[in-house]
Chain A
Amino acid sequence: MRDSLYLAWRYLAYHRIKTAILITSITLIVFLPVGLRVLVNQSADQLTARAEATPLIVGARGSPLELVLNSLYFESDIPETMRYAEAIRLDTMGLAQPIPLYVRFTARGYPIVGTTLEYFAFRGLEVAAGTGLTMLGDCVLGARVAEQLGVEPGGTVVSSPESVFDIAGVYPLKMRVAGVLAFSDSPDDHAIFVDVKTAWVIEGLVHGHVDLSQAGAATGILRRDSSVITANASLVQYQEITADNIESFHFHGDLSTYPITAIIAVPPDQRSEAILRGRYESPDERSQIVVPVSVMDELLDTILTVQTFVIAAVVVVGLSTFATAILVFLLSLRLRRREIETMVKIGGSRGSIAWVMTSEIVVVLLMGVLLATTLTLLTSQFGSSAIRALIF
């Protein structure tokens, strides 16, 4: 038996290119459907883990998927905005802790997440350097943002204008970096956090400028009546909030009408959650409440349907490749007729010769399966990191 195995091994080693091609084919046939499944499962786990950690999301009526993707991953288009009054209403209900989110603006390609201090406690985010948010105009960077921008606490980040063609639009805000968050292996690593009021400053709803009733503001005034002072376009609005000008920053109108994109609602128990969801079922309700994990499950169901088709295709391709491999072996038997005759002439029995041939096939199959298993293990080990790098 050892002799047969030796002969089979020497044959495979001598025809190393043919052997390598066969092993690669077998490896791919086995690995592709299995590895794909592992990757898809890991992606699903990654996506649902954050959704599972987020009990409920309230947003304006519209696409639930857009709302969830924007609120959890700070991706996708900006969902319909709603009034901050909704967060106050939710708080007044007493059924859940509301954490408002305003995810609309960006700075150097990274999303600016306007929220409240409760968000950091809710996500378990720790400050690795500097401090958390304290003053209007402060921002806290996700670990990856700080790393990639090379910015430390005390530095600044400037918000990006929404449109380069909007010359008369809102000026960018220079935000002071108060701190950098510890690495959390989540989309929070790739975001810039500000107080929701700072997000409103970026939008121009909150701003600071010289006191128009003071003599120094004369050049910025278009018209002055007994009770109305109208400023002209030259009125300088501060683009950075400093200790010297912070007191001039003011809110226009009723703050409860200011926009937010979503509210993370954290009910204390399942009963409160059920009651809260019921409150939003009314047909007159202008807001929607979604369970992120359900929305993500729907998305994953779609992905899994596609995955089934892909795996079916891979299996068909695999079967045809396997058939080709068998054909290769059968053809090689024809090509090796003289070799087999020689083995017979030197006294090799039919069984021994068949055993040598079978050994060659078994070795190739075993090596292919072994490699495929190794690749699958590597995928399950490092796939999640690769997926995170791709989707976050």
Chain B
Amino acid sequence: MERRRAWSSKRRLVSAVGLGALLACGGDEPREQAAASEGGTPVVYTVNYPLQYFAQRITGDVVRVVFPAPADLDPAFWQPEAQVVAQYQAADLILLNGAGYAAWTSRVSLPAAKLVNTSGVLEDAFLRVEGVVTHAHGPGGEHAHEGIAFTTWLDPTQAIQQAAAIRDAFAAAWPEHAATFDGGFAALEADLMALDEQFAAAVVLDPARPMLASHPVYQYLERRYGLNIESVQWEPTEHPGGGMWRDFRRLLSDHPANWMLWEAEPLAETAARLRELGVQPIVFDPCGNVPDNGDYLSVMQANAEHLARAYGRVGS
């Protein structure tokens, strides 16, 4: 009966999660390692930095929020080692981004009752990733490893919904701090709404202007503000090969953009060659991992300023 009661309280806090989250969901030294509920303070683990930021804003000092991915990796494609997975298992709650983000969560064992799928309410609004190769082998027949666009937080209105899911889960788990969570959420919501207005204002002059992106990660931003973005698969830290430039020129002729969004500063040589082609590289950091400077909000505000330059609100 004791066990049943324990589940009952857990049940309430993960009502928006379900076992579906369990399904939706090397060599790296984690940035921060912590055991759950150390010193009586509840511990929450997240799968990316935006969720950590949202959770910290909502909880203040009530809950310790841990995001253990190494700083130099994209958390979306990280594969934690067993001891890090054990830390996630020991946490009081695990915040998932959902939308197929952090595929590693489907390749490990996580306690379903602790999972909080923050984008569960957004499922109907998910965007499918196009251009996925289908393949066939074995008795399963033809299948595609297609995916869902997972940078859900780049639409600030979606980020607010994810933050609301975090607040609800926290309030269910620690109802005695519900007022603190409500206060933290209200302040975060105001900031995210202001950010939404800032993004909208940045592109208001000509949102349909052709834009390029180094990676297909801006789908929700594009949808929210009616942008016209075509993406390639270029890494900021790698030189694009000859074939990639050839494809790029072809793309540019069909999609005459003057600006290209990058997740991070591209190599100087790449930037120079882009400028030769009349394309200005500009950084729009999705902020999946902890930024070197500032926090989520300051990075997004910088992104908005960069967008304003690209869309003509501010002279380049």
Q: In the bound complex, what is the Cα–Cα distance between A149 and B7 (angstroms)? A: 35
* B interface residues with partner A (beta carbon < 8 Å): 3-5, 7-8, 10-11, 15, 18-20, 22-23, 26, 79, 81-82, 85-86, 89, 103-104, 106-113, 133-140, 142-143, 145
| A84, A92, A117: the one within 8 Å of B110 (CB) | A117
Which residues of chain B come closer than 8 Å to A229, judged between CB atoms? 133-136
Q: In the bound complex, what is the Cα–Cα distance between A210 and B145 (angstroms)? A: 13
Contact size class for A?
Answer: 35 or more
Per-residue CB contact flags for chain A residues 175-207 toward chain B (1 = under 8 Å, else 0) read: 000100000000000000001010000001101
- Selected A-B contacts with CB under 8 Å, 16 pairs: A91-B112, A116-B111, A117-B110, A122-B3, A134-B85, A134-B109, A135-B82, A138-B109, A228-B135, A230-B137, A230-B142, A231-B136, A243-B79, A247-B104, A249-B107, A268-B7
Interface residues of A in 242-288 (CB under 8 A from B): 243-244, 246-247, 249-253, 255-256, 266-269
From known contacts A87-B19, A118-B113, A204-B138, infer whether A136 and B108 are also in contact, taking CB-CB under 8 Å. Answer: yes
Which residue, of B82, B111, B140, has the highest number of chain A Cβ atoms within 10 A?
Answer: B82
CB distance from A220 to the nearest CB of B (A): 8
Answer yes or no: A321 CB below 8 A from chain B CBs.
no
CB distance from A119 to the nearest CB of B (A): 11
Q: Are B145 and A135 in contact (CB under 8 A)?
A: no
Q: Are A97 and B7 in contact (CB under 8 A)?
A: yes
CB distance from A371 to the nearest CB of B (A): 44
Q: Are B15 and A256 in contact (CB under 8 A)?
A: no
Q: Are B82 and A131 in contact (CB under 8 A)?
A: yes
From known contacts A230-B142, A253-B143, infer whether A118 and B137 are also in contact, taking CB-CB under 8 Å. Answer: no
Which residues of chain A come closer than 8 Å to B139, judged between CB atoms? 204
Which residues of chain B come closer than 8 Å to A84, judged between CB atoms? 19, 23
CB distance from A188 to the nearest CB of B (A): 16
Q: Are B142 and A195 in contact (CB under 8 A)?
A: no
Which residues of chain A come closer than 8 Å to B138, judged between CB atoms? 204, 207, 231, 235, 237
Residue in B closest to A250 when the chains form the complex, CB atoms = B145
From known contacts A134-B86, A252-B140, infer whether A195 and B109 are also in contact, taking CB-CB under 8 Å. Answer: yes
| A98, A212, A228, A269: the one within 8 Å of B19 (CB) | A98
Which residue, of A134, A135, A253, has the highest number of chain B Cβ atoms within 10 A?
Answer: A134
Which residues of chain B come closer than 8 Å to A255, judged between CB atoms? 23
| B81, B103, B107, B140: the one within 8 Å of A205 (CB) | B140
Which residues of chain A come closer than 8 Å to B111, judged between CB atoms? 116-118
Which residues of chain A come closer than 8 Å to B22, judged between CB atoms? 116
Q: In the bound complex, what is the Cα–Cα distance between A230 and B136 (angstroms)? A: 4
Which residues of chain B come closer than 8 Å to A250, judged between CB atoms? 145
Q: In the bound complex, what is the Cα–Cα distance between A247 and B105 (angstroms)? A: 11
Q: Are B79 and A116 in contact (CB under 8 A)?
A: no
Q: In the bound complex, what is the Cα–Cα distance between A138 and B107 (angstroms)? A: 11
Per-residue CB contact flags for chain A residues 125-138 toward chain B (1 = under 8 Å, else 0) read: 00000011111101
